[in-house]
Amino acid sequence: MLIEDLLDAWRVNNVINLELLGLSPDETLELKPGKGKTIRSNFVHIVFFRRAYAEEKMRAEAEAIPKLDWKTAPREEIVDALNVSAEVTAELLRRVDAKPGRWTAAMRLAYCVAHEAHHRSQIEIALRLGGHEPDDAVLYRLWEWTKK
């Protein structure tokens, strides 16, 4: 497997995050599934951990990832932070691939995608419980990876 294949998978993961944010109207950003994080704070959490992963090997580059307020970050800041952090994480994957250590690029990618998928499911559950269940056809589009 080539690093470019892993980076394509990472890009699709980020597009799915952005599409799910797009399915979350502003009035839903404070919804949460039970005692969990709000929709807003789930997205902020994803950005936070992307920054934390990058800081391990790329402290200077990680500084480009904005620190967002989990209670007040507006949609535009979240979108920007997801995109910036996706690029920084792509560079992290390139570096890990070039010089693997405890983590290979494939393992880091798998960990990041699994972590973010967990939070996407929390977001979808919050939308459903809050009465903003996306149409099935819209949700199915999240799985049309070849079109992303």
Domain ranges (residues) in the chain: 3-147
Radius of gyration over every alpha carbon of the chain, rounded to an integer in angstroms: 15
Under 8 Å between Cβ of 46 and 119: yes
112: Cβ–Cβ under 8 A, 6 or more apart, which residues? Answer: 10, 13, 50, 53, 89
Q: What is the pLDDT of residues 80-124, one digit of tens each?
A: 999 999 999 999 999 999 998 899 999 999 999 999 999 999 999
User: Distance between CA 91 and CA 29 in Å, rounded?
Assistant: 30
Residue 75: per-residue pLDDT: 98
User: Distance between CA 130 and CA 27 in Å, rounded?
Assistant: 10
Q: What is the pLDDT of residues 20-40, one digit of tens each?
A: 999 999 999 999 988 889 999
- Residue with the two structure tokens 């792509």: 90
The answer, yes or no, to whether residue 128 has pLDDT greater than 80, is yes
The answer, yes or no, to whether residue 53 has pLDDT greater than 70, is yes
Secondary structure element (H or E) that encloses residue 82, with its range: helix 75-98
Under 8 Å between Cβ of 6 and 109: yes
CATH ID of 3-147, from 1.20.120.450, 3.40.50.1820, 2.30.110.10, 3.40.50.2020: 1.20.120.450
99: Cβ–Cβ under 8 A, 6 or more apart, which residues? Answer: none
Residue 143: per-residue pLDDT: 80
Mean pLDDT of the residues in the chain = 94
* C-alpha dist (Å) from residue 123 to 24, 29, 120: 9, 9, 5
Tokens (6 digits) for 132? 């903003």
- pLDDT bucket at 144, cuts 50 / 70 / 90: confident
